[in-house]
């Protein structure tokens, strides 16, 4: 262990989940998530990541059609066992019947236990959107139904649906997410029927339930495919919607019946029914 380490703090003005996904492709070790920032700690030089993060913010601004700013700072600190400190800060999450816990904690008796390591995952149950989707899955998924998880990330939502008795397909445009999801399914002794790199247009199947926990602008872009993949009288669970984008989602999906909106801080999860 060296005497010092480097700490990179990334504070985006919006879309922290997208920045997390991006950083995961550049940095394979633990990334701490706070309310507003992402923190990387390494004994190696982290300054080469700065230009990449700023470039990514510019790309997001262009693709999403909105300004996305980011503050980046680097500090050199006295070396401590920061992995142990990180683990101390990560606690299990309980959402309804689901208990999401890291590998260094124990499962909970009487719960549907899902093991996800936040240091390795694209979604660990700690974020408000993931938690709200887990609530929706607990309420709406029934034994024997089919479910498609679009933008599956860590696979946590698909795993929860499989534990609820659903037959699950999953997809993500990020190949690392697909690989990560496959590992997490196996870790929890669950298995998707199909999983692929891509989006909802990568299959011709129609599902009883479609869940998509991705940013609002992308939800609007793939709205036609999400609706097409949902069966008549099926359920569509949408999340990753910040409150300032809710009206746009209401307009885009206004042809469906809104069953429920789950609000968690500034985030919204909306559950729709496709009328037969």
SS3 letters across 206-237: CEEEEEEECCHHHHHHCHHHHHHHEEEEEEEE
pLDDT single digits (tens) 232-243: 999 999 998 988
Q: 157 and 134 in contact (C-beta within 8 Å)?
A: yes
83 occurs within a structural domain: yes
Which DSSP letter does residue 4 get?
E
pLDDT of 65 above 60: yes
What pLDDT is stored for residue 122 in this prediction?
Answer: 45
Counting residues of the chain whose pLDDT is more than 70, the rounded percentage is: 91
25 plus 77 within the same structural domain: yes
52 and 135 share one domain:
no
Q: Is the model's pLDDT at 123 over the cut of 60?
A: no
DSSP per residue, 170-213: EEES-HHHHHHHHHHHHHTT---SEEEES-GGG----EEEEEEE
Helix (H) or strand (E) holding 272: strand 267-273
How far apart CA 98 and CA 162 sit, in angstroms, is 12
**Per-residue pLDDT, 215:** 84
Q: What's 19's domain CATH number?
A: 3.30.70.930
Residue 121 has pLDDT above 50, yes or no: no
The enclosing domain of 177 has a CATH number of 3.40.50.150
Give the chain's mean pLDDT: 89
Last residue of a domain, one of 63, 87, 111: 87
Q: Please give the Cα distance from 132 to 264 (Å, whole number).
A: 7
CA-to-CA dists, residue 197 to 54, 179, 214, angstroms = 26, 9, 15
Question: Would 252 be classed as within a structural domain?
Answer: yes
Q: 3-state class of 169 per DSSP? A: strand
Contacting residues for 189 by C-beta, under 8 A, at least 6 apart: none
Q: Write b or e for each residue in 92-108: b if 16 or more Cβ atoms lie within 10 A of its Cβ, otherwise e.
A: bbebeebbbbbeeeeee
| pLDDT-wise least confident of 27-31, 70-74, 211-215, 245-249 | 27-31
What confidence tens digit (pLDDT) does each residue in 173-198 have?
888 889 889 999 999 999 999 999 99
Same-domain status, 161 and 217: yes
Residue 147 structural domain: 129-273
Helix 16-26 vs helix 175-187: crossing angle, to nearest 10: 90
Residue 11 parent element (H or E): strand 4-12
The answer to whether 32 and 89 have CB atoms below 8 angstroms apart is yes
Residue 233, domain member (yes or no): yes
175 found inside a domain: yes
Same domain assignment for residues 204 and 134: yes
Higher pLDDT, 29 or 43: 43
Q: How far is CA 226 from the centre of its chain?
A: 17
């Amino acid at each position: 262990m060296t005497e010092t380490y480097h700490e990179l703090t990334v504070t985006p003005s919006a879309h922290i989940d997208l920045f997390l996904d991006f950083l995961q492709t550049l940095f394979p070790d633990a990334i701490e998530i706070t309310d507003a920032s992402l923190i990387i700690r390494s004994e190696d030089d982290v300054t080469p990541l700065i230009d990449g993060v700023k470039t990514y913010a510019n790309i997001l601004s262009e693709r999403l059609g909105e300004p996305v700013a980011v503050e980046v700072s680097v500090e050199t600190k006295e070396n401590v066992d920061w992995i142990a400190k990180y683990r101390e800060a990560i606690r299990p999450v309980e959402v309804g019947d689901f208990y999401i816990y890291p590998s260094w904690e124990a499962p909970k008796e009487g719960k549907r236990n899902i093991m996800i390591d936040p240091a390795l995952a694209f979604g660990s149950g700690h974020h408000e959107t993931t938690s709200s989707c887990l609530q929706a899955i607990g309420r709406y998924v029934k034994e024997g139904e089919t479910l498609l998880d679009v933008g599956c990330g860590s696979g946590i939502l698909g795993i929860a649906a499989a534990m609820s008795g659903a037959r699950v397909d999953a997809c993500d445009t990020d190949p690392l997410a697909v690989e990560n999801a496959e590992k997490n399914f196996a870790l929890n002794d669950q298995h998707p029927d199909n999983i692929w790199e891509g989006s909802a247009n990568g299959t011709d199947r129609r599902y009883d339930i479609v869940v998509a926990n991705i940013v609002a602008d992308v939800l609007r872009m793939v709205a036609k495919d999400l609706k097409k993949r949902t069966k008549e009288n099926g359920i569509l669970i949408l999340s990753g919607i910040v409150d300032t984008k809710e009206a746009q989602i209401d307009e885009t999906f206004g042809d469906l019946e809104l069953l429920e909106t789950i609000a968690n801080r500034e985030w919204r999860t909306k559950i729709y029914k496709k009328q037969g």
